[in-house]
Amino acid sequence: MNKLIVDAASQSYPIYIDSGLLTQTNLYRNLVQNRGVCIITNETVAPLYGSILKETLAKSGGNLNQIEIFVLPDGEQYKTLATLETIFNHLLQNQFDRNSLLVALGGGVVGDITGFAAACYQRGVDYLQIPTTLLSQVDSSVGGKTAVNHALGKNMIGAFYQPCAVMIDLDVLNTLPDREYASGLAEVIKYGAIRDAEFFCWLEANIDALNRREQSALAYAIERSCQNKAEIVNQDETETGIRALLNYGHTFAHAFEIELQYGTWLHGEAVSAGMVYAAKLSRQLCQLAEDDVERLEDLLLKAHLPTKIDASLNRDHLLHHMALDKKNQSGSRRMILLKRLGDAVVVKDVRESEIRSVF
Ligand SMILES: NC(=O)c1ccc[n+]([C@@H]2O[C@H](COP(=O)([O-])OP(=O)(O)OC[C@H]3O[C@@H](n4cnc5c(N)ncnc54)[C@H](O)[C@@H]3O)[C@@H](O)[C@H]2O)c1
Ligand SMILES: [Zn+2]
C-alpha cells in the first residue's frame, strides 16, 4: 500500500492508495471507534459500494446502531444548499452528535458537499474522503476545498476544511464509465504539465497502460498526482499564491463550460481543450516551444480527450466569460501559462487580443 501525508497549515492527514481498501477493516479502526458514522453517497455509487463499506466499518468497530447510509440524487445540479439541508435534517433526526464522522463515498460532487456539510454541522465534525472517480482521487478529495453551487455561480458557497484521511481504492475505477475516466486523466496530465516534467515523460510512455486501466500504472499515476497536489497544498492551503497554478487550462475551460451550459463536456474534457489553448497562448507570451505544445496535444489525444472547441462557439461570449474569471485581480487579466512542460507561471495583464488570436 502507498501512503502519502498531506501536511497543510491547518491539519495533516494520510492518503492511502491501494486496491481493496474498501474492505481493509484495519485501516478504519481508529477512525470509527465509539462514534456515529454517516456514509454520504449517491444513487449510482450506493448500490455498487455502499454496503461493502458499511460492512467494513461495522467490523472495524463503529457503533453498529449508528452506521447510516444517506443517499443523494446523482448529479452536479444537486450540489446545492437545498441538498445540504437534507443532509443536516438526516443527521439531526438521527441524533448524530459533535463526535460523529461523515464519510464521503463518491465522486467530486459527493466529496465537495460532504466536506462542506462536515465543516458546518455543529460547527465542524470529522470527515473521511473515499473518492470513487479518477478525478476525485487525484484532485478534489485532496486539499480541503469544499463547496456547493449557487444559481449565480459554481462553488460559490464553501469552506476550506481538510478531511481526516483519504482512502483511494483502485478497484472502484473498474466501474467508472470511459468518459469519466478520461476526464480524470486530464487532471493527471495537468500535474505533469505545470510542475513535473519527469512525470509528463512517464505519462507519454505509459498512456496505453493507463488507457487499459492497468493497476500498477494507475497506482503510480494516482500517487504521483496526489504527491504533486499535496506539495502545493502544503505550501499554500488557501490559495493566496502557488495553489493558483492548479488552475492551468481552467480559465479557458470554465468559459467553455459556461458557454456550453455544462451540458456537452465533462469538466476534464473542458480542461483538456483549455490546456491546449493555454499552451498556444504560452507559445506567444512565454516562449513555450512549439514541440512542447504538440507533445501536450498528442498526449491528450491519446488519452481520448478533446483538444479544440467547435468553430461554432461564439468567441465574444468566451472572452466575456474569461474576463469575469475569479483569478483576475483589480481589472488585470491573470492567466496560468507554461514556460516549458513542467514549469507553469502566473502571467498578469494578458490582453484580450492575445487570447482572441489563439481562438
Ligand atoms: N474540491 C476540489 O478541490 C475540487 C477539484 C476539482 C473538482 N471539484 C468538483 O468535483 C466535481 C466533479 O467531480 P467528478 O468528476 O468526480 O464528478 P461526479 O462526482 O459527478 O461523478 C461523475 C459520475 O460518476 C459516477 N460515479 C462515481 N464513482 C463511480 C464509480 N466508481 N463507478 C461508476 N460510476 C461512478 C457519479 O455518480 C457521477 O454520475 C465538480 O462538482 C467539481 O466542482 C472539486
Ligand atoms: Zn479541474
Per residue in 7-52, pLDDT tens? 999 999 999 999 999 999 999 999 998 899 999 999 999 999 999 9
Confidence of residue 329 (pLDDT cuts 50, 70, 90): low
Each residue of 164-202: pLDDT tens digit? 999 999 999 999 999 999 999 999 999 999 999 999 999
d(CA 24, CA 40): 19
CA 268 to ligand 2 centroid distance, Å:
6
187 Cα–ligand 2 center, Å: 6
pLDDT of res. 263:
82
Q: Compute the distance from residue 259 Cα to the ligand 1 centre, in Å.
A: 21
Q: How far is CA 97 from CA 9, 54, 104, 123, in A?
A: 27, 19, 18, 11
pLDDT at 347: 95
**Ligand 1 atom closest to Cα of residue 74:** 37
Evaluate: CB of 180 within 6 angstroms of ligand 1: yes
Q: Which CATH architecture has domain 2-175?
A: 3-Layer(aba) Sandwich (3.40)
Q: Which three cell numbers stand for residue 195?
A: 510542475
Contact 140, 134 (CB under 8 A): no
Q: Residue 182: exposed, middle, or buried by beta-carbon count in 10 A (0-12, 13-18, 19+)?
A: buried
344: Cα within 13 Å, side-chain hemisphere? 25
Computed over every residue of the chain, the mean pLDDT equals 95
Confidence band (pLDDT; 50, 70, 90) for 262? confident
Q: What is the pLDDT at residue 327?
A: 65
Between 64 and 197, name the one with better pLDDT.
197
Residue with cell 483569478: 327
Asked if pLDDT for residue 89 goes beyond 80, the answer is: yes
Cell 493566496, residue?
240
Q: Say yes or no: CB of residue 162 within 6 Å of ligand 1.
A: no
Catalytic residues: 123, 145, 187, 229, 239, 243, 247, 250, 254, 267
- The amino acid at 73: P
Q: Whose CA is nearest to atom 6 of ligand 1?
A: 140
pLDDT of 3 above 70: yes
**Encoded amino acid at 282, one letter:** S
149 lines ligand 1 (CB under 6 A): no
Inform me whether the pLDDT recorded for 65 exceeds 80. Answer: no
Per-residue pLDDT at 64 exceeds 90:
no
pLDDT band at 333 (very low <50, low <70, confident <90, very high): confident
Reply yes or no on whether the pLDDT at 139 is more than 80.
yes
321 three-class SS = helix
CATH architecture of 195-358: Up-down Bundle (1.20)
- The residue ranges of every structural domain in the chain are 2-175, 195-358
Does the pLDDT of residue 1 top 90, yes or no?
Answer: no
